[in-house]
Chain A
Amino acid sequence: MRVSALGCTAVTALLLLAATACGGREENGAAATATGACQGQQTTGITATGIKLGGIYPLSGPASAYGDIPKGIKAYFDYVNAEKNGIGGRKVEFVVRDDGYQPPKAVEEARRLVEQEQVFALFQTLGTPSTTATWDYTNQRKVPQVFVATGASVWGSDKAHPWTIGWQPNYISEARVYAQYLKEERPDAKVAVLYQNDDFGDDLLGGFKKAIEGSGIQVVAEQSYEVSDPSVDPQMRNLAQSDADVLLNVTTPKFGSQALAADARNTGWNPLHIVNNVAASITVLQPVGFENVQGVVSSTYYKDPNDPKWASDPEMTLYKAKMGQYAPDADPSIPYHAFGWAVASSFHKAMEAAKCPTREGLRDSMRNLQNVQVDMLLPGVTMNTGADDGFPIESMQLMEFKGERWELFGDVIDTRQEFGPVGE
């Protein structure tokens, strides 16, 4: 009885398989393509009046603070749609999906956006793991994955994924900015490094070591920590014994504050404290006490909404007004919103510059940016890419903490000019 039932199951399954497998899947209509000068190029998700973009962000889970970025982007696109007639007459529809910072979820959402929502491009995936998990897929499908929100250097140095490109300065470029600063200010500095033991820390530390090669600067001590560690105090104690005169603090926010606090407590060791951009937000410094972080150095590339220097800046005034209008629940002083605004207007520029309104057109445009000025970026920071340069932003400006805020100093450092292209 049981055997025959089993047999029935098997036979039915096999028959069905045979019946259906012979044909394979019917091609569900050729993908939409352009005609005329851009003939044969993909036009999925873009029409004469609209363009559909998809973004994947951690709206939930441990990294949900980054969930503020799409709010800034949405506000920008809403403003452009309502007041500027969209990008070149095309109204932007921006679909945001949540991956909870989990790579398998990011893969699912990428497929949902590309296959079901039929988006024109993925405009930002956030985080190195989620982007690594999805970029094989997007490149296989030839879908642009524009301005991913992660600073890993691999997005620019990799040659096999032409459809994926980063945006913010990569960690190697950032390391070069600090190296350049030390070369000028402290040519024989002894540097102690605290770094996070992952690709982010490796990129920054590796970039720094390479940038100081041949100079009088040397790394005399390095200590790593894991994201799961409760505290970096032991590492800081070890570093204090190195007698270094510069401390390079390569950390994410929570550990950044701990290291700053540990440095403030130790009155016997007073190195020049350089904290990387990731951990340089005011919210990191506040718990340490502003009086304890005076003179700390970091670097940045876009305008800080809290900096009174930009109070009368036309772009900043516009940003604050439009955020109030199109995203009334969001606090415009949160830098993530300004980041979203800046990256959205970068996309606007790249899309406008595209010769063809197609996926191929966007790919070629984002890989051929010539001194593109984005008003939310610092004056002097422009976007440049080319055939052998996959890094849009490679310039940063140093800043020093004074009083209750960061103060920019020196000129914008163009690391491409100083060090040449970021190699493998």
Chain B
Amino acid sequence: MSGSTEVTSKAASAETPGRGRAPGRAATVRWRWIVAALLLAAACYAPFQLVPFHVFQLSMVLVYAVALLGLNLLVGHAGQISLGHGAFFAVGAYTAAILLQRVELPYPLTLPVAAAVAFVLGLALGLPAMRLRGLYLALVTLAIAIFLVPLLKRFEPLTGGSMGLTLAKPAPPAWTGLAEDQWLYFLALAVAVAAFLLAHSLLRSRVGRALHAIRDNEAAAEVMGVRLSFYKTLAFAWSAMFAGAAGCVYTWVIGFVSPDSFVVTLSITLLAGLVVGGLGSFSGPILGGLFVMFVPGIAQDVNDAAPGVIFGLLIIAVMYVAPTGLAGLAGRVTRSIQKILRKE
């Protein structure tokens, strides 16, 4: 008796998306935009309510979110692994710092340059991605992250060596009436919104479809006419560009770069943050950014003798509870709630 009802409900639910696809999808799309608008409104409102320290933390969340957005493009959407994203982040940060310090460029101009430099570098480093797969590619990218730190220490006249470079932070224009931390926050927010819109339109285009095809099945994608090498390299370059832009904003917000800011653990933390946030999902980078920013602090509050251990345990815990990441967790919860509602 109960068995037959389950079958019918399953059949019904299987049928629904087929029949009502167009209106149903439009509804979810509308919902998504409304949620995004609400989030954005909250994001605009937050800096006026919070103390500067929290505004600074949120700015850093946005910086990490932009970097993770790029990583998501590569790992989540194109299915390639990068353990060296901290290096692209560092290149963006150092490009901005050097331009500000040595060339004395106005700070808004450093953003496109930093993004472009990272893009070109990503394009160059995307070349091994054409030939290598899986673990081998991961090792190459890891090598990039490892060798960057001593490299930055070498060219002292340019990079400031191991002392790094200290920079003045962008000052808010007088007409805004904003405090420095608020202005930096809005700069970070603007870059993050632009990055999300760019990533969104990129993924809805030909490029996005090609990347998904590569991730799901390379052979099939090639048969369908997707040029593997071209799109893999491009994915690398795009994702490096986002990381570079994030690095540039990082320089604005922190006002200091040094080789020790970009050690290998940064790359690994970024990847961990993305996986915890949710691979291939749109809210994953934001959740990942929150995770990267706040969880180490929380871990230290739990036990300040071994914050690293607690951080690791929390990652393991999240992966057990939500194998698809925090973004997937929301989906899983809503689905199970819907199921319960439908049953009633």
Contact = CB atoms under 8 A, between A and B. Distances in A.
Bound together: yes
A9 B53 contact: no
Nearest to A24: B177
B144 interface: no
B45 A12 contact: no
Interface string A325-363: 000000000000000000000000000000000000000
Interface stretch (B158-166, B237-245, B316-324): B158-166
Given A5-B34, A61-B265, A133-B258, A111 B56 contact: yes
B53 A115 contact: yes
A198 B161 contact: yes
Given A1-B26, A5-B30, A13-B37, A116 B166 contact: no
Contact of B29 (A2, A22, A25, A98): A2
> How many A residues touch the partner, as a band?
35 or more
A6 B40 CA distance: 12
A1 B30 CA distance: 8
B306 A2 contact: no
B306 A60 contact: yes
A17 B178 CA distance: 11
Given A60-B307, A111-B56, A133 B45 contact: no
Contact of B177 (A2, A22, A59, A198): A22
A16 B178 CA distance: 14
B153 interface: yes
A53 to B, nearest CB: 15
B100 to A, nearest CB: 14
Contact of A199 (B57, B162, B300, B304): B162
B230 interface: no
Interface in B63-103: none
A21 interface: yes
A61 B311 CA distance: 13
16 contacts: A1-B30, A5-B33, A9-B37, A21-B177, A23-B48, A61-B265, A100-B265, A100-B308, A103-B258, A107-B254, A129-B260, A133-B254, A136-B166, A199-B163, A226-B153, A228-B149
A28 interface: yes
Contacts of A28: 51
Interface of B: 26, 29-30, 33-34, 36-37, 40-41, 44-45, 47-48, 51-53, 56-57, 60, 149-150, 153-154, 161-164, 166, 176-179, 182, 250, 254-256, 258, 260-261, 263, 265, 296-297, 300, 304-308
Nearest to A62: B263
Given A133-B164, A136-B166, 18 more contacts: A1-B30, A8-B34, A9-B33, A13-B40, A24-B178, A61-B265, A96-B304, A102-B260, A103-B254, A108-B57, A112-B53, A128-B163, A129-B164, A129-B258, A132-B163, A132-B166, A132-B256, A199-B161
Given A16-B41, A103-B256, A226-B153, A9 B36 contact: yes
Interface string A181-199: 0000000000000000111
Contacts of B40: 9, 12-13
Contacts of B305: 59
Contacts of B41: 12-13, 16
A246 to B, nearest CB: 27
A17 B44 contact: yes
A116 B297 CA distance: 13
Contacts of A21: 176-178
A198 B163 CA distance: 8
A104 B308 contact: no
B307 A59 contact: yes
Contacts of A59: 300, 304-305, 307
A91 interface: no
Q: Which of A2, A22, A104, A116: most chain B Cβ within 10 A?
A: A104
Interface string A70-114: 000000000000000000000000001110111111011001101
A20 interface: yes
A199 B259 CA distance: 13
B261 A103 contact: yes
Given A20-B45, A21-B176, A198 B256 contact: no
Contacts of A16: 41, 44-45
A289 B44 CA distance: 63
B171 to A, nearest CB: 12
Given A101-B260, A111-B56, A116 B51 contact: yes
A101 B182 CA distance: 27
A28 B45 CA distance: 17
A328 to B, nearest CB: 14
B33 A97 contact: no
B250 to A, nearest CB: 7
Nearest to A109: B297
B166 A25 contact: no
Nearest to A4: B33
Contacts of A97: 300
Contacts of A8: 33-34, 37
B150 A228 contact: yes
Interface in A220-244: 226-228
A104 B37 contact: no
Nearest to A28: B51
A140 to B, nearest CB: 9
Nearest to A96: B304
B278 to A, nearest CB: 22
Contact of B53 (A116, A129, A132, A197): A116
Interface in A143-161: none
A170 B307 CA distance: 31
Contacts of B166: 132-133, 136
Contacts of A198: 153, 161-163
Interface in A170-217: 197-199
Q: Please give me the 8 A-B residue pairs with the lowest Cβ-Cβ distance, nearest first.
A: A5-B33, A115-B53, A198-B162, A9-B37, A24-B177, A228-B150, A60-B308, A133-B256
Contact of A98 (B47, B149, B300): B300
A228 B149 CA distance: 9
A227 B146 CA distance: 13
B162 A132 contact: no
A136 B260 contact: no
Given A9-B36, A102-B260, A25 B182 contact: yes
Nearest to A199: B163
Contacts of A96: 304
Nearest to A116: B53
B9 to A, nearest CB: 32
